[in-house]
Amino acid sequence: MHIPRFYAELGKWLEPNKALIILGPRQVGKTTLLKEFLVKTNYKYKFDTGDNLSIHQVFKDQKLGEIIQYTYGYDLIAIDEAQRIPNIGQALKMMVDAVPGIRIIATGSSSFELLGQIGEPLTGRKRTLQLFPLSQLELSDIYNPFELKEKLEEVLVFGSYPEVLIQNDTNMKIRILEELTGSYLLKDILELEKVKSSRFLLDLLRILAYQIGSEVSLTELSKKVGLDYKTIGKYLDLLEKSFIIFNLRGFSRKLRKEITKKSKYYFYDNGVRNALIVNFNPLNIRNDIGQLWENFVFIERMKSRFYKEIHCNSYFWRTWDQKEIDLIEEREGKLFAYEFKWNEGKVKIPKDFTEAYQNAEFKVINRENYPTFLQ
């Protein structure tokens, strides 16, 4: 089964003398997306990968003449897993500046390393796209709303990585997720030698997996993992920049009792979260449906906003006396408040919030109305 990606027509984002950077977690389909585009393009292109050691030396030396020779005769240079190439940012800058009309696509699975290399050199010379596990927005192109709801339990339990989603066999889905979390999830961090052992990272991720929907602090995590809070903060930053978790901060403007110094963490994929705690049970025998639902809706909303270029600031809202709202979006000069509930039912917006933010809009997102919220 072929599922068209939102960025399938990459040509819409290509510009002469600019680099198109495609970032995202491992195994979400960046290489497939690039190769499918190259098969269809009319540009004369050169395809290379970060594993090709022969181009490492060309880019590392940063000799303009050699870089121009590398691009000679081509309209488009495509480099997969570009983060593995030393000085890639400076090399791309030299190509963009020195070769008239050249177009460049570079993919990378490690945002903190690739953006660290390209951020300053390519200022004003790049456009960045982020590819996620398959989104409900993309799936709606091949499934109608009824069919999407039929597949909802599957996505809540096994997530939406492309290779997982196309499998019909449950055991195969589990094997793929176990391989993903065991071999690929932390590979970028460990390859860069930022961390000597994966044990503490996995311990930290498992703790976060059980605390979806709850605020956590560095001090609390430090005690549970057995590392100092500065190291915990560093690890959380690496995990976020490698597209494993998303950090949501607390919102506050007016009330002294609003929580602002803690964070909530969501996983980019429900299947990865469930693999970390080794729980692939069906929903009817689980006690964490609320957490699965909250993680799913939050991340799908994030994907939708990113793809549709809905610009906003995101927060959660909670007070010390346990009044809470799952998601606050600050956009268009207004506040939009959303509560995520698996079951239908009347939910009353906290009085403290309505009194403090009288012009805010409020909506409950449940399994009946979620498609419109995510599309």
pLDDT, tens digit, 9 for 90 and up, residues 224-283:
999 998 999 999 998 998 889 999 998 877 666 656 678 899 999 999 999 999 999 999
Q: What is the pLDDT of residue 187?
A: 79
Domain stop point among 97, 130, 163: 130
Q: What is the pLDDT of residue 229?
A: 87
| 3 is a domain residue | no
Instruction: Let me know whether 230 and 366 are in one domain.
Output: yes
Of 84, 107, 82, which is closest to residue 22 (Cα–Cα)? Answer: 107
Instruction: Let me know whether 248 and 331 are in one domain.
Output: yes
Under the banding of pLDDT at 50, 70 and 90, the label for residue 152 is very high
Instruction: Let me know whether 103 and 181 are in one domain.
Output: no
Q: Give me the CATH number covering residue 98.
A: 3.40.50.300
Q: And the tokens for 203? A: 């311990």
Under the banding of pLDDT at 50, 70 and 90, the label for residue 36 is very high
| 4 is a domain residue | no
Instruction: Let me know whether 158 and 207 are in one domain.
Output: yes
Under the banding of pLDDT at 50, 70 and 90, the label for residue 112 is low
Partnered with residue 336 across adjacent β-strands are 329, 361
Q: What is the rounded average pLDDT for all residues in the chain?
A: 90
Instruction: Let me know whether 175 and 80 are in one domain.
Output: no
Quote the distance between the C-alpha of residue 11 and its chain's center: 22
Instruction: Let me know whether 197 and 99 are in one domain.
Output: no
Instruction: Let me know whether 265 and 310 are in one domain.
Output: yes
Quote the distance between the C-alpha of residue 296 and its chain's center: 13
pTM: 0.92
| 280 is a domain residue | yes
Q: What is the pLDDT of residue 121?
A: 81
**Neighbour order of strands in the sheet with 313-318:** 263-267, 245-250, 313-318, 324-331, 334-340, 361-365
| 1 is a domain residue | no
| 267 is a domain residue | yes
Instruction: Let me know whether 240 and 193 are in one domain.
Output: yes
Under the banding of pLDDT at 50, 70 and 90, the label for residue 347 is confident
Q: Give yes or no for a contact between 252 and 318, defined as CB atoms under 8 angstroms apart.
A: no
Domain stop point among 130, 162, 184: 130
Under the banding of pLDDT at 50, 70 and 90, the label for residue 16 is very high
Mean pLDDT on 51-77: 90
Q: What is the pLDDT of residue 116?
A: 73
Type of residue numbered 235: Y
Q: What is the pLDDT of residue 192?
A: 65
User: How far apart, in whole angstroms, are the C-alpha atoms of residue 217 and residue 201?
Assistant: 16
Is a pLDDT exceeding 80 seen at residue 191? no
Q: Give me the CATH number covering residue 291.
A: 1.10.10.10
Q: Give yes or no for a contact between 26 and 109, defined as CB atoms under 8 angstroms apart.
A: yes
Under the banding of pLDDT at 50, 70 and 90, the label for residue 348 is confident
For the chain, give the number of residues. 375
Instruction: Let me know whether 76 and 141 are in one domain.
Output: no
Mean pLDDT on 208-215: 94
Least confident of 55-64, 218-227, 362-371: 55-64
Q: What is the DSSP letter of 10?
A: G
| 153 is a domain residue | yes
Q: And the tokens for 295? A: 């993680």
Evaluated on CA atoms 259, 260, 261, 264, the torsion sign reads: positive
Q: How far are the Cα atoms of 10, 215, 330 from residue 261, in angstroms, in the given order? A: 40, 9, 19
| 86 is a domain residue | yes
Instruction: Let me know whether 320 and 218 are in one domain.
Output: yes
Domain that holds residue 254: 136-374
Which residues touch 115 (CB under 8 Å, ≥6 apart)? 21, 23, 128
User: How far apart, in whole angstroms, are the C-alpha atoms of residue 104 and residue 118?
Assistant: 13
Domain stop point among 130, 148, 168: 130
Q: What is the pLDDT of residue 54?
A: 86
Q: Give yes or no for a contact between 296 and 283, defined as CB atoms under 8 angstroms apart.
A: no
User: Which 3 state secondary structure label does DSSP give 21?
Assistant: strand
Q: Residues of the chain with pLDDT > 70: what percent?
A: 95
User: How far apart, in whole angstroms, are the C-alpha atoms of residue 55 and residue 24?
Assistant: 23
- What domain count does the chain have? 2
| 238 is a domain residue | yes
User: Which 3 state secondary structure label does DSSP give 320?
Assistant: coil
